[in-house]
Structure 1
């Protein structure tokens, strides 16, 4: 892992909801950092989303990110917002930070209030742990139903000098970001103007986190934070911006893939590539309708090249096209053309290919130049088992 300069991590077992595992994590930058954020579009926005958004609107700089697992602090009213702000005061006092320098995020069960006595007890141990934990510890601590921690790092040269980027994320269910609970923190030691950083950050999110789905459910808590502290001594400028943007987007895409790979109970990552749409919005409608379809997702789990479910989803997507122009290809094998299935023995050809984790589904609409790619998971028995028992 290439951990950017000037960042420290702390994780502890605070017993906020879980016992026998760490559930509270703090990331601190030694320098003030340009801060960016992209948040859920769900109307029911969790207390930490409301608080963090207001903080970034007032001041696009931060020193820290604080995340708890097990309790989403969503749909908790004014008390939830007050509790969120109080946690920042508690941790800030213990760690020598101002509350307005700490960005909050939460993940877990919706509708539960924080136990503030436990938060009060946790603040000092959390601050004392700063620097003794790693980015992987941080990633493990913020997990809920995740099967594995999600981290991606990269080093890129700007003006002949190295800049490091690191992203951590959590999420396995309630995943359909439109910016489950999907949380991610992205850090770099490059120096970036705050307005430029927010612009670059949002562009990366649009090409990555906003192009994945597990179950079509957009969470109350979806949050992606970005900190750029300048500890490398390298500044992002007009001359090197595109190279930095490419690195940011690449890291985000890689970790967004992990969210789908780790979808609750998932065994497949379906790469849905729609081309030939009237415009990008139509291509997105088509891709999302196919990717959200329970019938398509269960067919992928069953290793069944069921083109009928795919074209039926396309037909109700609202995208403009003529049925006879549609071509559907799976893993390089053409299934559907001219309004009917091809005469290829595609079941035999696809039998070994559908055993792989990654399934590429290409859909040509023949109606324009619009295109869109979406990553989706399959739907399995285990998804039901996990979510039927989630609160218990």
Structure 2
């Protein structure tokens, strides 16, 4: 049973955006104004719903609903895209009985294609009618595109002070994403909900900190989408209030949920068969550690070697070398599955490749790099890269 935070309900319908009979339009609706925060793509071509949602959150820091469609990205659609996005939220506001400014929009699909407003007009009242009769899983399926499986994660918090007994408080996170994945953030949409009471400013802090150690640390293919969005909503319906002094309790739960969803996105990378956990230590500073981790994570040669179960650690060494980080090559160490492969400027003698064979067959493949240059550390999750990724993306619009 998926624990739903108090104060939230879900809706989902088939609007025909995908030219199929699958659910493709969903909503999360709060029974009253919820504190709201968002983190968005850093792509220089943000989609219309990103701009509309940013504007709405800057004005109030609250929301009554999140509305997400799949099958139409409404990105690179110019002024028409902005008009269509606001009109679609006006339709949804009228159907739900809330102001259009209180609805946060998200879209996912093919870039550069205008929205079909006739389908929006038909679907808005149906979506509103479905709210309360649909499950969190229905909503999750409605926002999927090339995802192989729905992505949900949850956590429970106790001991928070409040109007009643102080708990429990629930956190539920839902996400979609499988391809065009590279921070900041990834080609992904996510809604995280809690029934704790949190002021918008504090909620923004919690979300940013959680995203930085979760969604901003996954790589599938090195591409950052135009629509990436993560929302965090707090209904306050549990009667437990989060203040700055007890922020860490809720922040830990939100981070746990975001990290679980981030792992699922890496696991579900288009055509992926493995998750690669890349840990860099001993860097001059955190920035250098991040450079090395991300360079390895985005290397097609490393990713295809992992896909082929080939322990070709020379490709890792090569990526470290062109990462731009500062280090002495003679001080670098490389491991896979905690098996030493390279140390003191030369290969480790022995049966390393033979020992690595069982590790390369695992779902999770671990790569460790110690630069021997300082105390900087960083970790990234990546997926491998195989034939299916090419097929999916070669045929995406055809």
TM-score for the superposition, normalised by structure 1: 0.99
Matched, 1:252 2:253: no
Matched, 1:345 2:351: yes
Residue 36 of structure 1: aligned partner:
37
Gaps of 5+ in 1: none
Matched, 1:216 2:217: no
SS at 1:198 equivalent: helix
Matched, 1:198 2:204: yes
Q: Deviations over 1:22-79 (max 9, x none)?
A: 1000110012111000000000110000111111111100010000001100000000
For 1:9 and 1:106, the matched residues in 2 are separated by 17
Gaps of 5+ in 2: 161-165
- Displacement after TM superposition at 1:305 (Å): 1.2
SS at 1:33 equivalent: strand
Q: Deviations over 1:270-301 (max 9, x none)?
A: 00000000111110000000000000000101
For 2:204 and 2:185, the matched residues in 1 are separated by 13
Matched, 1:119 2:125: no
Residue 372 of structure 1: aligned partner:
378
- Displacement after TM superposition at 1:241 (Å): 1.0
TM-score for the superposition, normalised by structure 2: 0.97
Q: In 2 relative to 1, CA 327–180 (structure 1 residues): closer, same or farther, beyond 3 Å?
A: closer
SS at 2:132 equivalent: coil
Q: Deviations over 1:136-179 (max 9, x none)?
A: 11111100000000000111113352100000000000011314
Q: Conserved in 2, the CA contact under 8 Å of 1:158 and 1:240?
A: no
Residue 163 of structure 2: aligned partner:
none
Residue 300 of structure 1: aligned partner:
306
SS at 2:340 equivalent: strand
Instruction: Kindly report the root-mean-square deviation, in angstroms, between the aligned alpha carbons of the 2 structures.
Output: 0.9
Residue 267 of structure 1: aligned partner:
273
For 1:360 and 1:340, the matched residues in 2 are separated by 20
For 2:136 and 2:148, the matched residues in 1 are separated by 17
Q: Deviations over 1:166-193 (max 9, x none)?
A: 0000000001131463100000000001
Q: Deviations over 1:176-218 (max 9, x none)?
A: 1314631000000000011010011100000100000100100
Q: Conserved in 2, the CA contact under 8 Å of 1:6 and 1:30?
A: yes
Q: In 2 relative to 1, CA 14–169 (structure 1 residues): closer, same or farther, beyond 3 Å?
A: same
For 1:246 and 1:74, the matched residues in 2 are separated by 34
For 2:216 and 2:158, the matched residues in 1 are separated by 27
Q: Conserved in 1, the CA contact under 8 Å of 2:41 and 2:226?
A: yes
Matches within 5 A, 1:132-281: 132-159=133-160, 161-179=167-185, 181-281=187-287
For 2:120 and 2:248, the matched residues in 1 are separated by 42
For 1:267 and 1:179, the matched residues in 2 are separated by 22
Q: Conserved in 1, the CA contact under 8 Å of 2:72 and 2:108?
A: yes
Q: Conserved in 2, the CA contact under 8 Å of 1:329 and 1:335?
A: yes
- Displacement after TM superposition at 1:257 (Å): 0.3
Question: Across the two proteins, how many residue pairs are aligned to each other?
Answer: 392
For 1:294 and 1:220, the matched residues in 2 are separated by 22
- Displacement after TM superposition at 1:346 (Å): 1.3
For 2:70 and 2:299, the matched residues in 1 are separated by 30
Residue 391 of structure 1: aligned partner:
397
